[in-house]
Amino acid sequence: MRMERRLQMQTSINMTPLIDVILQLIIFFMITTTFKTAPGIALELPNSATAQSVQSSVIRVVAVSEREIYVDRERTNLEGLAKAIQKRAGGSDPSSLKATLEGDRNANYQLMISALDALRKNGIEAVGLRTSVDKKASP
**Domain extents in the chain:** 47-133
Determine the pLDDT at residue 19: 93
Determine the pLDDT at residue 87: 85
The ranges of the chain with pLDDT < 70 are 1, 3-4, 10, 35-41, 53-57, 137-139
pTM, rounded to two decimals = 0.56
HEC profile of the chain? CCCCCCCCCCCCCCCHHHHHHHHHHHHHHHHHCCCCCCCCCCCCCCEECCCCCCCCCCEEEEEEECCEEEECCEEECCCCHHHHHHHHHCCCCHHHCEEEEEECCCCCHHHHHHHHHHHHHCCCCEEEECCEECCCCCC
Determine the pLDDT at residue 36: 59
Determine the pLDDT at residue 37: 59
Query: What CATH class is the domain 47-133?
Result: alpha beta
Determine the pLDDT at residue 1: 64
